[in-house]
Amino acid sequence: MAKVKWARWGLGALAAVVVAAMLALLLAPRPVAVDTGVVRLGPIADSVADQGAARVREAYVVAAPVSGRLERVDLDVGDRVVAGATVVARIRPASADLLDPRSRARAEAAVAVAQSAVGAARADQDRYAAEAGKADADLGRVRTLAAQGFAARQALDAAEAQARSTRAAVRAAAAQLGVRRSELAAARFALLGPEAEGGRAVPVVAPASGYVTRVLQESERTVSMGAPLVEIGDQRGLEAAVEFLTQDAVRIREGMRAEVFDWGGEGSLPAMVRRVEPQGFTKVSALGVEEQRVLVLLQFEGSPAAWSRIGPGYRVWGRVILRQEARAVKAPLGALVRADGGWAVFRIVDGRARLTPVTVGAMTDREAEIRKGLSGGERVVVFPSDKVVDGVRVRARTP
């Protein structure tokens, strides 16, 4: 009986141990399934990128050199022009304005007055001419008498003065007749309307070689001197004007390497920072937030055939390379988390997640440079959930 009793106690103890083990397994915390990534060594670049538009570096706006009637411009956007040879526009003298009945009646009356003044001036000229003829005849007779001793010297001087005076009056009358005739011509010109249009057109030639980017005045119309007609640009001077935030622009220097991407074609286009404009401006974002931005000009490099399909005003994205590292420690960007005001990652050490502070350098859209805290080959948790804390057991999620 004692043996049976001890056997029962042994079986009971074994069953208790098995139950305890099963309860321990059931109640033990399970590892958290996580996505993992590997810390690698490779090249990385610190860069800033933003949106902008293409434009020509040198654009020429052809303006009207004189006032007049612009003939219809035959050029279209994209047409090639040659400096000093291609006629971009022609300007004829402006036609006269239409006369309303009152203005026409007033102009006709002015013509009649001018005609009467011409007649009066012609009559005065005839009168002074007759007086001059009589004075010359009197002078001839007085000279004959003075030569024979029958006329005093004083009479001869008076006759000569009278002759000179009448001849001067004739010249003055002739000049006055010319003035009246000019006034008559001016009065007749005031009667001219649009039907008297005429005159030689003035050609306007292209000041530079390139292609037409905008036709500012296409239809026939009256233009004043200095009115813009056509804009000409040279695609060889194409550049990208990118609007960077001021906190990014202060890190950009002229001569830095850059690239233009997301322009609609394949790949990216090499470029170089030509200028960082010193004056910032305020721009309201799509969310209604006021932002301070600076215009950075990126000059395209390489063969012009690569960007031949880009024109002024096309939307592009520009990226400026601030710094490059050929062999940097890189971690997936999704592994970074905020901790104590800085950056950290969850390293996987012996199946557990260990919160590790790191020093971050350059960042791209996929990777981050780790200057301190990690080494190549280590595994980290990518996009950790709120279940991932320091020391928790984790397991890699199977795809």
Per-residue pLDDT at 10: 63
Residue 253 predicted with pLDDT over 90: yes
Residue 363 predicted with pLDDT over 70: yes
Q: Is residue 15 part of a domain?
A: no
The pLDDT > 70 percentage for the chain reads 89
Q: Same domain for 242 and 307? A: yes
- What is the token pair recorded at 115? 């005609």
- What is the token pair recorded at 75? 């050029």
Residue 259 predicted with pLDDT over 90: yes
Q: Same domain for 293 and 151? A: no
Q: Is residue 7 part of a domain?
A: no
Per-residue pLDDT at 148: 78
Q: Same domain for 203 and 278? A: no
Q: Which residues pair with 315 in a beta bridge?
A: 53
CB hemisphere CA count around 95 (13 angstroms): 15
Instruction: Look over the chain and give the mean of its residue pLDDT values, rounded to a whole number.
Output: 84
Instruction: Check if the beta carbon of residue 95 is closer than 8 Å to that of residue 197.
Output: yes
Contacts 24+ apart (CB under 8 A), 117-122: 117/180, 117/183, 117/184, 118/177, 118/180, 118/181, 118/183, 118/184, 120/180, 121/173, 121/176, 121/177, 121/179, 121/180, 122/177
DSSP 397: P
Per-residue pLDDT at 2: 56
Q: Same domain for 270 and 333? A: yes
Predicted confidence (pLDDT) per residue in 115-160, tens digit: 888 888 888 888 888 888 888 887 788 778 777 777 777 877 787 8
pLDDT band at residue 59 under the 50/70/90 scheme: confident
| Number of domains comprising the chain | 3
Q: Same domain for 141 and 216? A: no
Predicted confidence (pLDDT) per residue in 76-85, tens digit: 888 888 888 8
State which residues form the domain around 253: 44-55+235-396
Last residue of a domain, one of 147, 180, 196: 196
- Determine the average pLDDT of the residues in 182-190: 79
Q: What is the CATH number of the domain that holds 295?
A: 2.40.30.170
- Determine the average pLDDT of the residues in 325-345: 91
Number of H helices, E strands in the chain: 4, 21
Place of tokens 């009559």: 123
Q: Same domain for 266 and 375? A: yes
Instruction: Check if the beta carbon of residue 356 is closer than 8 Å to that of residue 374.
Output: yes
Q: Same domain for 384 and 241? A: yes
- Determine the average pLDDT of the residues in 371-396: 90
Q: Same domain for 132 and 179? A: yes
CB hemisphere CA count around 119 (13 angstroms): 6
Q: Same domain for 161 and 249? A: no
Instruction: Check if the beta carbon of residue 72 is closer than 8 Å to that of residue 217.
Output: no
Cα separation, 236 vs 233, whole angstroms: 9
Residue 399 predicted with pLDDT over 70: no
- Determine the average pLDDT of the residues in 228-232: 91
Q: Is residue 223 part of a domain?
A: yes
Last residue of a domain, one of 233, 260, 278: 233
DSSP 393: B
Cα separation, 339 vs 277, whole angstroms: 38
Q: Same domain for 338 and 382? A: yes
pTM exceeding 0.75: no
Q: Check residues 346 and 287 and name the one with the higher pLDDT.
A: 346
